[in-house]
Homo-oligomer: A and B are copies of this chain.
Amino acid sequence: MELFWGSGSPYAWRVQLALEIKGIAYQSRLIEFSKDEQRSPEMLALNPRGQVPVLRDGEVVVSQSIAILAYLERRHPEPALFGRTPGETGAIWQAVMEAALHLDGPADLFLVAMYYGEAEARQAEVRAALPPIAAELGRLEGTLHDRPYLAGLALTAADVVVYPMVRSLLRAADKPDAARFEHGLDGFSGRYPQLAAWMARVEALPGYERTYPPHWRKNP
């Protein structure tokens, strides 16, 4: 298996986490966003949308992070990330789709604006994204009141999907440009104690360190 990924992409990070958890060996193909390599002819042949992650496994090529997780589950069922019973599967997929449809859009907008110096140009959009981000973080915090992981007692695809986005939000909130917004991400562990404890659980996973975005080590 080959994974085409970019350092700091929360979408690629999901797949890296799943590969570690499932103990799947893979070849790392690091794409440099700064060189626009995700839109190279080779990459566009794999994914015409010019986005990572892309997984290649022999003849099979899959893009879209959540689709790759579903593929990996079928290819390497253990340990299960999508549950062992229909009820577990339903709860996990509901949490995955809620993240994809309610958190990812506004969070991605905030990340991109802070990472690429667009905070001023996209002020109105950033402001509009903050209430849904806060609402989703509030829901996740509530979910964790009676369970250690987002879909129950065990780590699942829900955690793998949500963690990289929340972790990326915290990094973006530390950028100087973020200070012009009331983003509510400062004092995170006080405001969202359950989420902070859950993040520490994810970060204690064997293999977590191998998935940490390499350029964040130099530029946190």
Tallying the copies of this chain within the complex gives 2
CA distance A100 to B105 in the complex (A): 12
Interface flags for A37-80 (1: CB within 8 Å of B; 0: not) read 00000000000110000010101101110111011001100000
Chain B nearest Cβ from A124, distance in angstroms: 13
Which residues on B sit within 8 Å (CB–CB) of A63?
Answer: 94
Which residues on B sit within 8 Å (CB–CB) of A97?
Answer: 64, 66-67, 100
Kindly state whether residue A86 has any CB partner on chain B within 8 Å: yes
CA distance A94 to B71 in the complex (A): 9
Instruction: State whether A59 and B87 are in contact (beta carbons under 8 Å apart), knowing that A64-B98, A93-B67 are contacts in the complex.
Output: yes
CA distance A128 to B74 in the complex (A): 38
Interface footprint category on A = 20 to 34
Interface flags for A111-143 (1: CB within 8 Å of B; 0: not) read 000000000000000000000000000010000
CA distance A67 to B161 in the complex (A): 14
**A contact set with B: CB distance below 8 Å:** 48-49, 55, 57, 59-60, 62-64, 66-68, 70-71, 74-75, 82-83, 85-87, 89-91, 93-94, 96-98, 100-102, 105, 139
